[in-house]
Amino acid sequence: MRTERESRRARPGAAAEGMADRRVLSREECESILERAHGFARGGGETRVVVTSWWQGELRWGRNRVSLSSDRRDIVLGIERKVVDGRPSGTLNVTTNQLDDGFIEAAVRAAERKSLLGIDPGWGLGDYPPLPEYPPYVGAPVWSDATFNLTTEARGEVVRAMIAAVEAEGLLSAGYLEVRGASAMSKGTEAPELRQGELAFWDLPYSVWTHAQLSITVRDSTGGGSGWAALASYDWNRIDPEALTERAIQKCVASRNPVALEPGRYTVILEPQAVADLIQPLVDSLASREDAERPSASPWYLGPDEHLGLHRSKLGMKVVDSRISISHDPSDPSLGIVAAPMETPGTVTWIDRGVLTNLGFGLSTDVKWLEGWHTLRGPLAYRMSGGDTTIEEMIASTRRGLLVTRFSNIRKLDDVSLLCTGLTRDGLWLIENGQITKAVKNFRFTESPLFVLNNVEQLGEPVPVFRPVLHPFLGGPMPAMVPALKVRDFSFTSLVDAV
């Protein structure tokens, strides 16, 4: 190792060069960085190091012209040192983006000095039996060469064709295409009492992934109509730019000259994107079992059981329509995520045929309860079950209702009922006697995903939806498969004349 270090110092700019050519750090590079960082630790104690690298190719356009094409990349190195009697320096205490020996050593020193200031956050551990060795998480693929190798020229061609199609209709488009590649790896010696084997359950073995997103908004120049279509996936080949453009154009044209309707309760046909937008607060609420088992604002808190002296959650109770399940199967090729070894290796079902069967554990509870020795999260990626009714069939069976493209600006109003408010956007149509008859002005809704999933009449086939938000820590994909739904008694509370 010393030789390697010396040789790096002898070749000025070598590390920089290496980084400059490579968009994403390789396994060998990550291992070397982690080893070097660990090697610089002085004074005993424990060390945790995480290195992540990312690259993005971006293409943004507005008013039918590309406004910016970019290539950006960065590296993040986080170091945590614990040198004094149970005082770690805080989570990823020193973070930076430079990788040379001199800098890494200085960062490790900085973390050590900070360690003296820190206060033990306490993992809430106590005495636990040794944990089993965790093999790396094996899930569906999250790397696609098609995404990583979509060149600047290819991106330009894709977007030129999309813009040309919109211009041919005399309309205006704005949109965004992004491809991203990233890698990450962590290695630590912290919490040795919980380690057994090479990887602790929270460590991340070398992981590499890609992510692509494409979205387009088409508007007519008088501003009367607006259409939108988008998709995100780890694999660029699953995104069809032509189909998205066609859909956005069709929705723009069909949404011109909208009429105002009275707010009220309507039967609605929610396209899959609208369903995904609406149920996000519910998906988020599945992350905390701790909250559901104590008096709290969790929708899953049931109440106190005086006899047992406990607070009970709704686990085991039917909470939504029995045709609805929300689950994640790691081997499902549409639902690949980047995960640490501690992720549950098999399928997790949070809602099984309407019954709440699982809620995610927080980290300290993981260690306390250690059910199955793996962690259970709320859904990062998920599949919502559906049926086989097509949207056309749903429309045909509707005497009077509204067809919704998507929702926007959603805000939760009440944590317990999950009552939310938000807006329809980019296409809302009136259905009368089985036919779409008019474009309708946007509405503000006041509705709860929990109530909506209890008022389901028909379900479609689950399809991938646009979920560009990436995992908060790792930035990996969070795909979802969601069906269209026909729902009764959906509450629209006011008219919104925005387009």
Partner 1 sequence: MGITRRELLKAGVGAVALAAVPRPVLAYFGRGPEPVPPIRDPRIKELAFRAVEAARSAGASYVDVRLTHDRARSFSLASLTNIGDTEELTVGVRALVDGYWGFAGGSVWSPEEMVRLGREAVRHARIHALGPARAVELAPRPVVTDAHWQTPVEIDPFEVSPFEIVDYLKGLEYFVARDPQFSLGHNLTRFELREEAFACSDGSYLTQRLYSTEGLATLSYTPEPGQQIRWSVEGLDRASVGWELYKGQPLRDRIERLMEEMREHWKLPVKPVDVGRYAVVFDARSVAGLIDATLGSATELDRALGYEANADGTSYLNDPLAMLGSFEVAHPALTLTGNRSEPGGAATVRWDAEGVEPDEFTIVRDGVLTDFQTTRESAGWLAEYYRGRGQPVRSHGCAVAESGNHAPLQRRPNLVVSPGKESLDFDDLVEGIEEGLAIKGLQIEMDFQGLNGLGLGERVYEVKRGKPVARIIGAGLLFRAPELWKGLTALGGPGSTRRYGLETRKGQPTQVGYHSVTAPAAAFEQVTVIDVLRKA
For the packed helices 152-168 and 241-254, what is the interaxial angle rounded to 10 degrees?
30
Beta carbon nearer to partner 1, 102 or 141: 102
Beta carbon nearer to partner 1, 111 or 326: 111
Amino acid occupying residue 66: V
Give the DSSP per-residue string, 222-251: TS--EEEEEEEES-GGG--HHHHHHHHHHH
Shortest Å, Cβ 106 to partner 1: 4
Beta carbon nearer to partner 1, 310 or 396: 310
- Lay out the site mask for partner 1 across 302-341 (x = CB under 8 A, - = otherwise): ----------------------------------------
Q: Which residue has the tokens 């088992």?
A: 293
Q: Are 302 and 293 in contact (CB under 8 A)?
A: no
Shortest Å, Cβ 282 to partner 1: 17
Using CB under 8 A, which residues numbered 221 to 260 contact partner 1? Answer: 223, 226, 228
Beta carbon nearer to partner 1, 462 or 477: 477
Give the DSSP per-residue string, 4-62: HHHHHHHSTTHHHHHHHH-SS--HHHHHHHHHHHHHT--SSSEEEEEEEEEEEEEEEEE
Beta carbon nearer to partner 1, 66 or 302: 66
Using CB under 8 A, which residues numbered 77 to 116 contact partner 1? Answer: 83-84, 87, 89-98, 100, 102-104, 106-107, 109-110, 113-114, 116
Beta carbon nearer to partner 1, 39 or 263: 263
149 counts as binding partner 1 under rule CB under 8 A: no
Read off the DSSP letter of residue 334: T
Residue 299 structure tokens: 């929708």
CA-CA-CA-CA torsion sign (470, 474, 477, 481): negative
Task: From 149-157, 284-292, 301-309, 478-486, give the range in contact with partner 1 by CB under 8 A.
Answer: 149-157
Shortest Å, Cβ 146 to partner 1: 19
71 counts as binding partner 1 under rule CB under 8 A: yes
Q: Say whether 154 sits in a helix, a strand or coil.
A: helix
CA angle, corner 275, sides to 273 and 281, nearest 5?
115
Q: Where are the beta strands (DSSP E) in 63-105?
A: 65-84, 87-88, 94-96
7 counts as binding partner 1 under rule CB under 8 A: no
Beta carbon nearer to partner 1, 339 or 440: 440
Shortest Å, Cβ 162 to partner 1: 11
- Lay out the site mask for partner 1 across 11-50 (x = CB under 8 A, - = otherwise): -xx--xx-xx------------------------------
493 counts as binding partner 1 under rule CB under 8 A: yes
Q: Say whether 255 sits in a helix, a strand or coil.
A: coil
378 counts as binding partner 1 under rule CB under 8 A: no
For partner 1 (CB under 8 A), the number of binding residues is 95
160 counts as binding partner 1 under rule CB under 8 A: yes
Beta carbon nearer to partner 1, 209 or 443: 443
66 counts as binding partner 1 under rule CB under 8 A: yes
For the packed helices 101-115 and 2-10, what is the interaxial angle rounded to 10 degrees?
120
Beta carbon nearer to partner 1, 178 or 321: 178
117 counts as binding partner 1 under rule CB under 8 A: yes
Residue 198's CB is within 10 A of a number of other CB atoms, namely 13
Using CB under 8 A, which residues numbered 403 to 442 contact partner 1? Answer: 408-409, 411, 413-414, 419, 421, 423, 425, 442
Shortest Å, Cβ 236 to partner 1: 17
Shortest Å, Cβ 488 to partner 1: 13
Q: Where are the beta strands (DSSP E) in 398-450?
A: 400-412, 420-432, 435-439, 443-447
Using CB under 8 A, which residues numbered 265 to 304 contact partner 1? Answer: 265, 295
Beta carbon nearer to partner 1, 145 or 167: 167
178 counts as binding partner 1 under rule CB under 8 A: yes
Beta carbon nearer to partner 1, 326 or 404: 404
Q: Are 387 and 459 in contact (CB under 8 A)?
A: yes
Residue 16 structure tokens: 């920089």
65 counts as binding partner 1 under rule CB under 8 A: yes
Residues 135 and 244: their CA atoms lie apart, in Å, by 40
75 counts as binding partner 1 under rule CB under 8 A: yes
Q: Say whether 401 sits in a helix, a strand or coil.
A: strand
Beta carbon nearer to partner 1, 102 or 135: 102
CA angle, corner 283, sides to 427 and 388, nearest 5?
60
Q: Are 235 and 147 in contact (CB under 8 A)?
A: yes
User: Which residue among 51, 158, 171, 174 contacts partner 1 (CB under 8 A)?
Assistant: 174
- In the chain, the N- to C-terminal Cα span, in Å, equals 62
